[in-house]
Amino acid sequence: MAMALILFIILSILVNPSSAKTNYNVLSFGARGNGVTDSTQAFINAWAAACASTEPTTIYVPKGRYLLGPVAFKGGCKSSDITLRIDGTLVAPVDFRVLGQAENWVSFDQVTGVSIIGGSLDAKGSALWVCKAQAGTNCHNRATDVLVEGIKVIASGNSPNTDGIHVQQSTNVKIINSSIKTGDDCISIGPATNNLWIEGVTCGPGHGISIGSLGKDMEEEGVQNVTVKNTVFKGTQNGLRIKSWAKPSNGFVKGVQFIDIVMQNVQNHIIIDQNYCPHNLNCPGQVSGVKINNVLYQNIRGTSATPVAIKFECSTKYPCKGIKLQNVNLTYLKKVAQSSCANVIGTTMGLVKPDNCL
């Protein structure tokens, strides 16, 4: 089913957009803001011009609706200060066949010193990825020092594979003051993510904020130093989730903090699932090799849509260690919810409800 995905995004990487000097208007490269004319090549040409410049530059998209096919903005630029200023709306083709074999509609590949400011992206139900650093089936790139601010994602709660933001193979990323309504993870966090800060995000509907799934491959870089703070979940399938495949892996998760979280009618508030094995293929009878250490859940409150609000199902070979619960108050039907623990070692501080099973 074609679902409109509209994204209002402010994304900055390394640079203050006010420093940009040379202006490249996409209209000068043949773009048309009528929502009908294919403006893909015009955007690619404008990017190439900005990328080749040695001066700070701005690519300007005036008001209007600009039809774009799949487009990848490649890095390796001479300029380390490129601003993409969008006052209009980027629109994906209604016909999915136009996207062909492209894994992403709009992507940014190995970029440094780039800011994307304002505007709207109407993906027409396509899987939209504004890529910081994804790998595998999405896109192969890395990024550092990224700020994502004031983003608004809207998609139907039953729209498949519509993750709001995916972060992977990235360092020093901040996602703040944003609202994400989607059919999959509001924010998903993949391997090789280091120093991720998420604050002031409202999530729902959707599948919550997920670290993982991790450990699909034996050789995999870990996730470390992740903070989620002042975040609200509304009617989501999950709240705070860490998920790994039930397969051998040298991956890891460490140094994670979930602080000051409010949950409203969430099905699975706090969950670690290391038995992920979709369709029971390629992993039955195996155990996760992902090592999970030092995870803090602090000042978390709200209501549960299911009796079990806390569920830790860790690896039998590598139990979760250093799990800390501090000032947690989760209820189910105005009663104390339940918790379930397996292969986890941790401590509690302050009031913790449901009664902790650590």
- Give residue 18's region: left, alpha or beta (phi > 0; psi -120 to 50): alpha
94 and 124 in contact (C-beta within 8 Å)? yes
* C-alpha closest to that of 123 among 83, 70, 168, 169: 70
> Residue 62 and residue 54: Cα distance in Å, rounded?
24
Assess whether 207 carries a catalytic annotation.
yes
**Spatial CA neighbour of 106 closest among 44, 158, 37:** 44
Annotated catalytic residue within 140, 166, 207, 269: 207
Active site residue ranges:
207
